[in-house]
Amino acid sequence: MEMNEKKGYSLSDLMQSSMSKIRDMVDSNTIIGQPINTPDGVTLIPVSRLSFGFGCGGGDYGKQSNNFGGASTAGVRVDPVAFLVIKDGITRVLPVAVAATSTVDRVIDMVPEVMDRVDHFIEKRKAEKETF
């Protein structure tokens, strides 16, 4: 308690301290995780959804200006969404979350697979042309 009074904390000090802790917890590796390589040549990349909240408040109490009281809080929530599965140069999305319920959600979920199929089809056609 004595250390707090001697340091003369202020609301901006509390906010800066809380935000620096949030920065430590939240970085790009939280959303797109580190690749995981399996012995059979498959690479898995975790993908997550990140939410966070922050609140801070305080004020001076009494007639003396060094009677500051305040608090800050922060919360972080990480939800796994999917894995990117890479094998033999083909990338697939393996969703972890609840299955898509609307038509638009289903179409969006199918885009990576359709792109892989189109890419494979084009490569196959090029190989056939080179053979003739």
In a structure prediction context, what are the per-residue pLDDT tens digits for the chain, which is 132 residues long?
333 444 556 677 777 777 777 777 776 667 888 899 999 989 999 988 887 777 777 777 777 667 777 777 777 788 888 889 998 888 888 888 666 566 776 777 777 777 788 888 888 888 887 776
Give the model's pLDDT for residue 79: 81
Give the model's pLDDT for residue 3: 39
Q: Are 50 and 25 in contact (CB under 8 A)?
A: no
Give the model's pLDDT for residue 129: 77
Q: Alpha-carbon distance 16 to 21, whole Å? A: 9
- In a shared domain, residues 80 and 112: no
- In a shared domain, residues 10 and 70: yes
Q: And the tokens for 101?
A: 């319920």
Give the model's pLDDT for residue 37: 92
Instruction: For the sheet with 68-87, list strands across it.
Output: 36-37, 43-60, 68-87, 90-95
Cβ neighbours of residue 26 closer than 8 Å, sequence gap 6 or more? 50, 52, 76
Number of domains present in the structure of the chain: 2
**pTM of the model as a whole:** 0.49
Burial class from Cβ neighbours inside 10 Å (0-12, 13-18, 19+) for residue 9 reads middle
- In a shared domain, residues 93 and 51: yes
Give the model's pLDDT for residue 100: 56
- In a shared domain, residues 65 and 80: yes
**Residue 68 neighbours by CB distance under 10 Å:** 19
Range of the structural domain that residue 128 is part of = 98-132
Residue 90 CA, distance from chain mean position:
23
Please tell me what DSSP assigns to residue 32: B
Give the model's pLDDT for residue 101: 63
- In a shared domain, residues 12 and 76: yes
Please tell me what DSSP assigns to residue 13: H
